[in-house]
Amino acid sequence: MNAWSGIAAVAWKDLIVERRSKANFNSVVFLAAVILLLFGFALGPDNQRLREAAGGVIWLTVLFSGVLSFNRSYQQELEDSAIEPLLLYPVDRRTIYLGKLAANLVFLLALELVLAVVAGVLYDLPLGREPLGLALVLVLGTVGFAALGTFYGAMTSRVRAREVLMPLLLFPMLVPVLVAAVGATGALLAGDPLDSAGGWMRALAAFDIIFVIASTLAFDSVIGE
């Protein structure tokens, strides 16, 4: 089996499991909607203030909600004692990481699609002003987020306190991605008067390349311990 077939098989397996249960997606969407609603109450009824804070609120919601999906990324194999057979899959172990990453990307992008609609309604956001730019920022930000989340999910998968350890390891590493994603999102929602969104997106692309390559190369040693 070649690498692409292995990646597709691992990703398809995870997506099929999620589609059949839907428990993870439904719980994460519910949590994300509650977070958006609470931020809306905290920031008050001022529409201008809500729009200015929307970029940060959306990405913080993605951050808090996405951690739940990363914690569950390897849970199915651990609960069914299938992690060892998965590691014996007749492909490079890094293929497993890339398959998990692809599945998490699909999951997070579906979550963000729902979040964008909810946030647009709650905060009265001009999502139609720069739809392609906003979509590109969401994809770029999600790639970096999912790359690190999938990697640290593997690192903490066999640790008893993984729900606590995962955020402690993940959040500091995500700071540059979050800063660039919030900057680009805020600039696009404001109409990008300073033409700063392009610089933020280039930074996001650079972070994505670094995180994906580094996580892929280090995955074998992490998952084998």
Q: What is the pLDDT of residue 139?
A: 94
| pLDDT tens figures, 72-118 | 777 777 666 666 677 777 777 888 889 889 999 998 999 899 888 88
Phi, psi for residue 45 in degrees, rounded to 5: -85, 0
In angstroms, what CA-CA distances link 215 with 73, 136, 192, 212?
15, 22, 33, 5
| Tally of helices (H runs) and strands (E runs) in the chain | 10, 0
Q: Are 88 and 6 in contact (CB under 8 A)?
A: no
pLDDT < 50: residue spans in the chain: none
Phi, psi for residue 139 in degrees, rounded to 5: -65, -50
DSSP-assigned letter for residue 89: S
